[in-house]
């Protein structure tokens, strides 16, 4: 049983391909899955009675195999089914279960509820009486565990096809799937752990790994650690937050434009001028936080786009940007839109959150950080990272400014890529929020960054 950080994420179709490519016979895969599920249920169920809900497909098949293994291990277990099995594999698994099978509507509750109704094959919402039974049984259970996925969520988009009571634990088979990470499904999964069933997972998507940051090299100097320019505008507090966060990572932070009185003294200030960005030591420019919507903002964005610098484009600058302008630039750009800014930038891009971030990155040639509770980072190569940890206290004004500054600082640093910089920034941002704790304000994130950076190994 493994935590999901850094693991490859597979869609339902990619999972099927991986199963076929594994060279392991499907029945053997199901036996492994069922045995691994039973082992976890036995260990955390504390010997209490288990009720296994089995659906008609192979998810149900896993349920029958797990029920048989639990019974052999001496755990009291009952099985309730939605209907007869419909696949050969599930029929084989059902035949291996020596006990009775009750209709779900008649099943009485047990302390441990194992949901093996539907997994990657769910094609529509569950019938209403089934949803009602599932809720009634779950309310009376002490512990609900979902096999592969909560029954009712769409594997690839994380959409909710029917109401789900919520599991405490979801045992993902072989690999995490998008629904384990995307809203609204992710919180219904509870803790997600992966059970290894011996397949090699390959795809371009993975769960955001724990950031790995190195301390500065022994011969480091401030410019070798990275110099960031933060372009300020109408709301100096926003750029001050970005610059303050950047200063925790970069060796040198330059704030260009109006500043607040309480800007840390370590941040160098300069007035805005046409040539303000003509400094070859600048490793990345952050533009957008508090920039404003006016002509001056537009001129600053034009100057940044005309420069050779790597860019982090956030906030107000995303309202002024034509993404097509990024195509001709040689140095990388990272866009950090929330959903509203994304819709403005890419009005025609539709699909799941993963599809939209990936398409936008491909079209613009920029790395796209599509923010929110389930932040997704997509590179123009098609590579995608999905954030796994959720700290809703981040939903506070200015927290995006902190992320933009942090991203710029990491992008300006040595030996990195836009994808790596954005990934580490998102991880550190959430870790800083976890450390800052409840009721945080964006300023607290900058104060918590040293501890978050230490957690990342630096």
Ligand X SMILES: NC(=O)C1=CN([C@@H]2O[C@H](COP(=O)(O)OP(=O)(O)OC[C@H]3O[C@@H](n4cnc5c(N)ncnc54)[C@H](OP(=O)(O)O)[C@@H]3O)[C@@H](O)[C@H]2O)[C@@H](O)CC1
Cα separation, 116 vs 113, whole angstroms? 9
How far apart, in Å, are the Cα atoms of 353 and each of 37, 54, 60, 373, 385? Answer: 30, 30, 29, 12, 12
Element (H, E) at 298: helix 295-306
d(CA 173, CA 61): 13
Q: Cα–Cα distance between 281 and 226 in angstroms, integer? A: 8
- Give bridge partners of residue 191 from the DSSP assignment: 169
56 forms part of the interface with ligand X (CB under 6 A):
yes
Helices in 117-172 by DSSP H: which ranges? Answer: 128-140
From 416, 341, 346, 418, select the one nearest 385 (Cα to Cα). 418
Q: Is 302 annotated as a binding residue?
A: no
Residue 147 binding K ion, by CB under 5 A? yes
Which token pair is 244? 């303050």
Q: Is 120 in the site for ligand X (CB under 6 A)?
A: yes
Q: Is 144 in the site for K ion (CB under 5 A)?
A: no
Is residue 440 at the binding interface for ligand ADP, with CB under 6 A as the rule?
A: no
365 is in an annotated binding site: no
Per CB under 6 A, 39 contacts ligand X: no
Is 151 among the residues that bind K ion (CB under 5 A)? yes
Is residue 301 near ligand X by the rule CB under 6 A?
no
**DSSP H or E run through 18:** helix 12-21
Contacts with ligand ADP, 370-389, as mask; x by CB under 6 A: -xxx-x--------------
Question: Rounded to the nearest 5 degrees, what angle is found at the Cα of 439, between the Cα atoms of 437 and 442?
Answer: 85
Q: Rule CB under 6 A: is residue 376 a binding residue for ligand X? A: no
Tell which one of 121, 178, 233, 315 touches ligand X (CB under 6 A).
121
Q: Which residues are 230's β-sheet partners? A: 255, 286
Q: How many CB atoms lie within 10 A of CB 350?
A: 9
In the range 304-323, which residues lie near ligand ADP by CB under 6 A? 315
Whether the CB-CB separation of 283 and 412 falls below 8 Å is answered with: yes
Q: Cα–Cα distance between 397 and 419 in angstroms, integer?
A: 25
Select from 57, 292, 398, 405 the one that contacts ligand X (CB under 6 A): 57
59 is in an annotated binding site: yes
**Among 363, 401, 431, 444, which residue sits at the site for ligand ADP (rule: CB under 6 A)?**
401
115 contacts which partner out of ligand X, ligand ADP, K ion, none, CB within 5 to 8 A by kind?
Answer: K ion
Per CB under 6 A, 81 contacts ligand X: no
Q: Print the binding letters for residues 333-362 with ligand ADP: x by CB under 6 A, - otherwise.
A: -----x------------------------
Over the window 134 to 153, marking each residue x when it contacts ligand X by CB under 6 A and - when it does not, the resulting string is -------------xx-----
62 in a labelled binding site: yes
Residue 62 interacting with ligand X (CB under 6 A): yes
Q: What burial class does residue 124 get, using C-beta atoms within 10 Å of its C-beta: 0-12 exposed, 13-18 middle, 19+ buried? A: exposed
Residues that bind ligand X (CB under 6 A): 19, 26, 29-30, 33, 55-62, 86-87, 118-126, 147-148, 173, 197
Binding site for K ion (CB under 5 A): 115, 146-147, 151
Annotated binding site: 58-62, 115, 148, 151, 238, 290, 338, 371-375, 400-401
């Amino acid at each position: 049983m493994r935590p999901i950080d850094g693991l490859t994420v597979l869609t339902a179709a990619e999972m099927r391909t991986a199963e076929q490519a594994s060279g392991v016979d499907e029945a053997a895969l199901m036996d492994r899955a069922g045995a691994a599920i039973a082992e976890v249920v036995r260990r955390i169920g504390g010997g209490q009675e288990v009720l296994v809900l089995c659906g008609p497909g192979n998810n149900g098949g896993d349920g029958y195999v797990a029920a048989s293994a639990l019974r052999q291990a001496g755990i009291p277990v009952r099985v309730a089914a939605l209907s007869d099995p419909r696949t050969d594999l599930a029929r084989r698994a059902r035949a291996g279960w020596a006990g009775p099978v009750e209709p779900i509507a008649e099943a009485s509750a047990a302390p441990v509820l194992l949901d093996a109704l539907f997994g990657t094959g769910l094609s529509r919402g569950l019938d209403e009486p089934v949803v009602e039974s599932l809720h009634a049984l779950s309310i009376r259970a002490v512990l609900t565990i979902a096999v592969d996925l909560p029954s009712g969520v769409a594997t690839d988009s994380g959409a909710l096809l029917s109401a789900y009571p919520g599991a405490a634990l979801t045992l993902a088979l072989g690999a995490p799937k998008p629904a384990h990470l995307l809203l609204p499904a992710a919180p219904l999964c509870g803790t997600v752990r992966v059970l290894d069933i011996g397949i090699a997972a390959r795809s371009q998507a993975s769960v955001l790994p724990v950031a790995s940051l190195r301390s500065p090299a022994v011969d480091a100097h401030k410019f070798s650690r990275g110099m960031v320019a933060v372009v300020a505008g109408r709301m100096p507090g926003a750029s001050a937050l970005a610059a303050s966060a950047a200063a925790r990572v970069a060796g040198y932070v330059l704030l260009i434009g109006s500043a607040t009185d309480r800007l840390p003294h370590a941040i160098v200030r300069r007035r805005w001028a046409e040539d303000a960005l003509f400094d070859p030591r600048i490793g990345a420019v952050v533009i957008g936080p508090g920039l404003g919507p006016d002509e001056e903002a537009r001129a600053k964005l034009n100057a940044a786009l005309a420069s050779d610098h790597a860019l982090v484009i956030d906030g107000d600058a995303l309202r002024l940007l034509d993404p097509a302008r990024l195509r001709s630039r040689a140095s990388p750009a990272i866009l950090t839109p929330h959903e509203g800014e994304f819709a403005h930038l890419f009005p025609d891009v539709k699909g799941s959150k993963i599809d939209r971030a990936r398409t936008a990155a491909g079209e613009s040639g920029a790395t796209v950080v599509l923010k929110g509770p389930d932040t997704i980072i997509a590179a123009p190569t098609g590579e995608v990272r999905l954030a796994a940890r959720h700290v809703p206290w981040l939903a506070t004004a200015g927290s995006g400014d902190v992320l933009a500054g942090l991203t710029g600082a990491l992008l300006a640093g040595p030996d990195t890529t836009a994808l790596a910089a954005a990934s580490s920034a998102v991880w550190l941002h959430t870790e800083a929020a976890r450390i800052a704790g409840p009721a945080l304000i964006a300023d607290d994130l900058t104060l918590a960054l040293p501890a978050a950076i230490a957690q990342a190994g630096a």
